[in-house]
C-alpha cells in the first residue's frame, strides 16, 4: 500500500511551504471576551509552525468579540456603528494578547488591516502582496484582520472565512487552516443528527457538499460551515488545500502539520492562476454583459474570447478594465472577466463585427470585448458563488 493510500494528506503536506491560519472569534472569545488559555496555546503552535521552517500568516477574527468585553456589553452588537465601535475597542486588545505570547518567544509580528476594496483594486492587491511577502522574508508573522472599524459590508462577509481564502491566493500559500468551534465538516449537522459522519478527507468539493452545509448557530461568530466550504473552494482554485478543525483541540495545528487525521482535509484543486483567481474572487463586478448562445458556447466549450458580435445586452455603468459578469440568455453566469471597453462603448459595438470597432468608436483597443486571458469560466456553477454580490 502506498503512502498516499495510507494517508491521502501526505502528498499535499509535502509541498506545503506557506500556511494561512484563520482563527474564528468563537474559538478566541466564546463568551464575548478573549480566552487567555486558548490564545496562549494557539500562539505556541504558531511559533512551532514557524520553527518547522514554514511561512505563516494569521488571519484572526475576535476584534468585535473582544470589544464586547472591553465595553461591558453582554450581547453581540446589532447595528453597524456598534460593531465598528466594538472592533475599534477590541483590535488593540487582540493584538496585545498575541504580542504578549509571541514577543517573549522571539516571534516578531505585524498588523495588516484590509477591506474588500484593498483586494478588489489590482494595484492595492499587489501592494498588499508585496508587503506581506517582504514581512515573511524577514521572518515576521503577519496578523491580518478585516478593517471593521471603517468597513460596512465587510462585517457581513462571514467571520473572515472569505478573507482568509483571498489571503491564501495573495501569498500563494499551499495550505489554509480554518480553526473553528466544530471538529470538521460532517455529512449532516452532528448537533442534530447523531448518525452524522465527519469527512476526514475530500478530494474535491461538489455542489452537493455546499448544499448540505447549514447556517451558523454561534452567538459570537458570523460565519457558518457554508462560508468555510466556500473559502475552501476558493483556496482549492488557487492550488491550496484546506483543513477545517476545532481550534481548541489539543495541539491541533501541530497535529495537522504532522499529517494526523484531524478535522476535514479538502484537497487542492487545479490552480487557475493568481491573476484569474483575483478576477474571480477579489474584483467586485461593476456590471454585466449578456451573450448569445454562440458566444456562450465559444467561451464555455472552445476556450475562446468574447467578441462584441456575441453581446446582446450591456448592464450597468463600468469603465474599461473593470470586472463584469458574463451571463447567458437564461441569466446563468458563464463566468467573469475584465472588459476591454467601457459600458458606453460596448453598447455602441454590441452585435457588431470586430472589424467595425474602429469605424464606430474612432479607435480600437482589441478585437475582443473580453480577452480569454482576462476571463474566468464558471464550469460548475460554484466557482463564483461567494463573489456574486
Nearest to 241 by CA among 207, 277, 265: 265
Determine which helix (DSSP H) or strand (DSSP E) holds 291, and give its type and residue range.
strand 287-291
pLDDT at 52: 96
**Is residue 291 pLDDT above 80, yes or no?**
yes
What is residue 68's predicted lDDT score, i.e. its pLDDT? 81
What pLDDT, in 10s, does the model give residues 59-87? 998 888 888 878 888 888 888 888 888 88
Confidence label for 203 from pLDDT (cuts 50, 70 and 90): very high
- Tell me the Cα Rg of the chain: 22
Helices 122-137/161-170 angle, 10° precision = 70
Would you state the pLDDT for residue 71?
85
Query: In the CATH hierarchy, which fold is given to the domain comprising 285-384?
Result: 2.30.130
User: Which percentage of the chain shows pLDDT scores above 70?
Assistant: 90
Q: Is the pLDDT of residue 135 over 80?
A: yes
- Measure Cα distances from 238 to 2, 68, 175, 204, 280 in Å: 27, 35, 10, 13, 11
pTM of the model: 0.82
pLDDT for 158: 44
E strand or H helix at 266? strand 264-266
DSSP, collapsed to helix, strand or coil, labels residue 346 as helix
Q: 3-277 is classed in which CATH architecture?
A: 3-Layer(aba) Sandwich (3.40)
Angle, in degrees to the nearest 10, between helices 161-170 and 225-237? 10
Q: Which pLDDT score, from 0 to 100, does residue 381 have?
A: 47
> What is the arithmetic mean of pLDDT over 268-281?
83
pLDDT at 46 over 90: yes
Range in 90-104, 142-156, 328-342 the model is least confident about = 142-156
pLDDT digits (tens, 9 = 90+) for 178-191: 999 999 999 887 77
Mean pLDDT of all residues belonging to the chain: 87
Confidence at residue 80, expressed as pLDDT on a 0 to 100 scale: 81
Instruction: Give yes or no for residue 10 having a pLDDT over 90.
Output: yes
Q: CATH 3.40.1160.10 in the chain: give the residue spans.
A: 3-277
Q: Note the pLDDT of residue 267.
A: 95
Q: Residues 87-114: pLDDT tens digits? A: 888 899 899 999 999 999 999 999 999 8
Q: What is the mean pLDDT of residues 207-235?
A: 72
Amino acid at each position: 500500500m502506498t503512502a498516499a493510500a495510507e494517508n491521502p494528506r501526505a502528498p499535499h503536506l509535502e509541498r506545503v511551504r506557506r500556511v494561512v491560519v484563520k482563527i474564528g472569534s468563537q474559538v478566541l472569545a466564546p463568551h464575548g471576551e478573549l480566552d487567555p488559555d486558548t490564545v496562549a496555546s494557539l500562539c505556541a503552535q504558531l511559533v512551532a509552525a514557524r520553527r518547522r521552517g514554514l511561512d505563516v500568516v494569521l488571519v484572526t477574527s475576535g476584534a468585535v468579540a473582544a470589544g464586547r468585553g472591553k465595553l461591558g456589553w453582554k450581547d453581540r452588537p446589532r447595528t453597524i456603528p456598534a460593531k465598528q465601535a466594538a472592533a475599534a475597542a477590541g483590535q488593540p486588545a487582540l493584538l496585545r494578547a498575541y504580542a504578549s505570547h509571541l514577543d517573549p518567544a522571539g516571534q516578531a509580528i505585524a498588523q495588516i488591516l484590509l477591506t474588500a476594496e484593498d483586494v478588489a483594486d489590482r494595484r492595492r492587491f499587489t501592494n498588499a502582496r508585496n508587503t506581506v511577502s517582504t514581512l515573511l522574508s524577514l521572518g515576521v508573522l503577519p496578523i491580518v484582520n478585516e478593517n471593521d472599524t471603517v468597513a460596512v459590508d465587510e462585517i457581513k462577509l462571514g467571520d473572515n472565512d472569505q478573507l482568509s481564502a483571498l489571503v491564501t491566493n495573495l501569498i500563494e500559500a499551499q495550505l489554509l487552516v480554518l480553526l473553528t468551534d466544530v471538529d470538521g465538516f460532517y455529512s449532516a449537522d452532528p448537533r442534530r443528527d447523531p448518525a452524522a459522519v465527519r469527512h476526514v478527507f475530500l478530494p474535491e468539493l461538489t455542489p452537493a457538499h455546499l448544499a448540505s452545509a447549514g447556517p451558523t448557530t454561534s452567538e459570537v461568530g458570523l460565519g457558518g460551515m457554508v462560508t468555510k466550504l466556500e473559502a475552501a473552494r476558493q483556496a482549492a482554485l488557487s492550488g491550496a488545500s484546506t483543513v477545517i478543525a476545532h481550534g481548541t483541540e489539543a495541539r491541533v495545528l501541530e497535529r495537522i502539520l504532522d499529517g494526523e487525521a484531524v478535522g476535514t482535509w479538502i484537497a487542492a484543486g487545479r490552480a487557475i492562476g493568481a491573476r484569474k483567481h483575483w478576477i474571480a474572487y477579489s474584483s467586485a463586478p461593476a456590471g454585466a454583459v449578456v451573450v448569445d448562445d454562440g458566444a456562450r458556447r465559444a467561451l464555455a466549450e472552445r476556450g475562446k474570447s468574447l467578441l462584441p458580435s456575441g453581446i446582446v445586452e450591456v448592464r450597468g455603468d463600468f469603465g474599461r478594465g473593470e470586472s463584469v459578469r458574463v451571463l447567458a440568455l437564461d441569466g446563468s453566469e458563464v463566468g467573469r472577466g475584465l472588459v476591454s471597453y467601457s459600458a458606453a462603448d460596448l453598447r455602441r459595438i454590441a452585435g457588431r463585427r470586430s472589424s467595425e470597432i474602429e469605424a464606430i468608436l474612432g479607435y480600437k483597443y482589441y478585437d475582443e470585448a473580453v480577452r480569454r486571458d482576462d476571463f474566468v469560466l464558471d464550469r460548475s456553477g460554484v466557482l463564483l458563488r461567494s463573489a456574486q454580490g
